[in-house]
Amino acid sequence: MHVRVLGSAAGGGYPQWNCRCAVCALAWDGDPRVRPRTQSSLAVSADGATWFLLNASPDIKQQILQNPPLQPRADGRHSPIAGVILTNADLDHVAGLLTLREQQALILYATAPVLAVLAANPMLAVLDRPDIRRHALRPNQAVSLQGPDGRHCGLAVTPFAVPGKVALWLEETAAATAEDTIGLLVQADGAGRLAYIPSCAAVDATLRQRVEGAALLLFDGTLWRDDEMIRAGVGGKTGRRMGHISISGEAGALACWSSAEVERKFFLHINNTNPVLIEGSPERRQVEAAGWEIACDGQEFRL
Ligand code: MLT
Ligand code: MN
Ligand code: ZN
């Protein structure tokens, strides 16, 4: 199985267009200890020819430019992208769907509540076409990914509910459900398992069991500490309020995953205020000492 990190930053990307917090300032000033990152997305493929996006970031066009396997190969209209699997309805995970609207056959996988909010959004009616199929994912039920033509593509995906919350833009109108935020286990025949969990509010025993034995864990690294955005003076919300566990702290990701049997562990969906973005920072060193790595755009894995 081929895995590519298309975007490793949280919503807003790194640096964020309107931010000069201490961490963003380094990127704007060209400091070599940091590198720019686009917004949260992954691409997976069994054969390197047909790809599925795990989330569709607003930066998808830039990500296609940076990742040649995702570029059109046949004359006329063509894309190696067969479909998109969504882990929630957050803007950084769905806004790229608008870019995928140009008469391209696709299949869209998401839980029923996420498909429902997309269907209710008039702007996304551009995707209401017979050649754009939808498939409702049910937690704990494995699906064999199909292309829009019904062909099986050699990847099995098992979605599972994770502690999270309804998308920010839906907070006023939608009731929270257990299927608002999912993680994905992805596996090709005979290959190691990928666990992809870009948004997660807490890590409990059930989640740890699910991920046990995975070859690769790509996990929510939004914030280093819960009140980081408030301390940086760029926002009023804590990580908890946004449905994101912090990396550090007693109930943080490092502590909760410390005994997990996983071959490689990476943080992604990293917010622009997070000091782990800075190579050599004390926080980055702490993450590395705990056996974690920081994902970056363009990174490739073979499982
Ligand atoms: C999040 O990860 O909390 C969301 O992407 C926030 C947002 O919609 O900007
Ligand atoms: Mn996000
Ligand atoms: Zn910033």
User: How confident is the model over 14-34, as pLDDT tens digits?
Assistant: 999 999 999 999 999 999 999
pLDDT tens digits for range 43-90:
999 999 999 999 999 999 999 999 999 999 999 999 999 999 999 999
Distance 238 CA to ligand 2 centre (A): 14
Where do the H-state alpha helices sit in the chain? 22-28, 60-66, 91-94, 112-119, 205-211, 228-231, 239-242, 253-256, 282-289
Ligand in closest contact with the CA of 273: 3
Q: Counting ligands in written order, which one lies closest to the CA of residue 201? A: 1
- Distances 184 to 114, 159, 257, 280, 284 between C-alpha atoms, Å: 15, 5, 17, 31, 26
What residues line ligand 1, using a CB cutoff of 6 Å?
10-11, 90-92, 168, 199, 242
The position carrying tokens 């599925």 is: 52
From the list 43, 71, 72, 68, the residue with the least C-alpha distance to 57 is: 43
Amino acid present at 292: W
Distance 269 CA to ligand 2 centre (A): 7
Nearest CA to ligand 1 atom 4: 90
CA distance 89 to 102: 21
How confident is the model over 156-185, as pLDDT tens digits?
999 999 999 999 999 999 889 999 999 999
pTM score above 0.85: yes
pLDDT at 132: 96
Dist CA 144 CA 148 (whole Å): 13
Which CA distances in Å does 116 have to 58, 161, 203? 20, 17, 27
For residue 113, how many other CB atoms are within 10 A of its CB?
Answer: 20
- The bound ligand whose nearest atom lies closest to the alpha carbon of 241 is 1
Q: Provide the edge-to-edge strand list for the sheet that holds 106-111.
A: 132-137, 106-111, 81-85, 51-54, 41-45, 2-7, 300-302
What mean pLDDT do residues 235-259 have? Answer: 97
With the most atoms of ligand 1 within 8 angstroms of its CB, the residue from 37, 38, 59, 168 to mutate is 168
- Which atom of ligand 1 is least distant from the CA of 93? 5
pLDDT at 89: 97
Read off the pLDDT band of 246 (50, 70, 90): very high
Ligand 1 pocket test: which of 17, 91, 172 has the largest number of ligand atoms within 8 Å of its C-beta?
A: 91
Contact yes or no for 153/52 (Cβ under 8 A): yes
Quote the DSSP letter at residue 84. E
How many whole angstroms from 55 Cα to the centroid of ligand 3?
Answer: 22
CA of 173 to the centre of ligand 1 (A): 16
- Give the chain's mean pLDDT: 97
Q: Residue 276 and residue 166: Cα distance in Å, rounded?
A: 26
